[in-house]
Amino acid sequence: MSDLSATAVATRGAAVSARPVLFTDPETVGADIRALAGPQASIALVPTMGALHAGHLSLVKKARKKADFVVVSIFVNPLQFGANEDLDEYPRTLEADLDALAGKADAVFAPAPGQMYPGGSPSTHIEPGPVARMFEGQARPRLFPGALTVVAKLFALVRPDCAVFGEKDAQQLFLVRQMVRDLSIPVKIVSAKIVRDSDGLALSSRNAYLNAEERRAALALHRALSAAEDNEHLGLSAALSAAQSVLMGEPAVTLDYLVAVDPKTFLPVDDRPSGKVLLLVAAQVGSTRLIDNQKLYFA
């Protein structure tokens, strides 16, 4: 076992509040995790790009309820970043992340890009289909092919029984479920609710880019979704209008899209939907792109 010590194996049960065991080698991580977890243990994976916050930790908590052994992957995936996006600026805080996961996760898999993609960009990619070219995929064309490719690779390397994804990244969650279903990947996908700060802002690693004034302006996204929810009894048009009014009233917010989709298909709904609808919003606040969503119900 390449980076698993005998001491770590022997003390796993006793070191309840110790940092998780760190693995970095893709070639051996599956066998190393199985050796540490034990032959019969169920394994949950929480894929992240690091810079962990309370939202990520809620995913880890959910994973703990679903499996005997929890693995968190930390990998800033270059495949999902476009040429003018924030790959170089994205926060990398491995030591702080390991501290945050102490007593919460059993193992962390944090490979370097050169270990995950030894020849540079891989020749084989996941093509996630038409939904991946809408909304976030239209704004960031490399996002979902890159994200799903690395998720598929993480599943192959770690071999989890289940994986936990946050509902804030609703389109990604939909596409991961679609990939698992289409390719018969034997991993159960578990979702976890959006975690918000006390003022309603959805937690995101990119919130760290916001200055004080931008953060204040960013609250308009949650206020807009709340306004839509308050008006859902009047119908979708009224709900959308209420949300748009909030967003248009905040000059520091540049709206990209505000759209209601069917959560079963992720396609836009008509003007008179029935049942559950997911309202998506994306906007630019300063140099930072933020997304959020809200479930609505129409009788």
- Please say if 233 is a catalytic residue: no
Contact 272, 188 (CB under 8 A): no
Cα-flanking dihedrals φ and ψ of residue 21, to 5°? -70, 135
Give 96-131 pLDDT, tens digit per residue: 999 999 999 999 999 999 999 998 889 999 999 999
Give 10-61 pLDDT, tens digit per residue: 344 444 479 999 999 999 999 999 999 999 999 999 999 999 999 999 999 9
Instruction: Write down the catalytic residue from 56, 125, 222, 233.
Output: 56
Give the CATH number of domain 205-298; options: 3.30.1300.10, 3.90.1150.10, 3.30.230.10, 3.30.565.10. 3.30.1300.10
Cα-flanking dihedrals φ and ψ of residue 108, to 5°? -125, 135
- According to the model, what pLDDT value does residue 6 have? 35
Distance of CA 32 to the CA centre of its chain: 25
CATH architecture assignment, domain 6-192:
3-Layer(aba) Sandwich (3.40)
What does the domain layout of the chain look like in residue ranges? 6-192, 205-298
pTM: 0.93
With 0-12 / 13-18 / 19 or more C-beta atoms within 10 angstroms meaning exposed / middle / buried, residue 120 is: exposed
The share of the chain scoring above pLDDT 70, in percent, equals 95
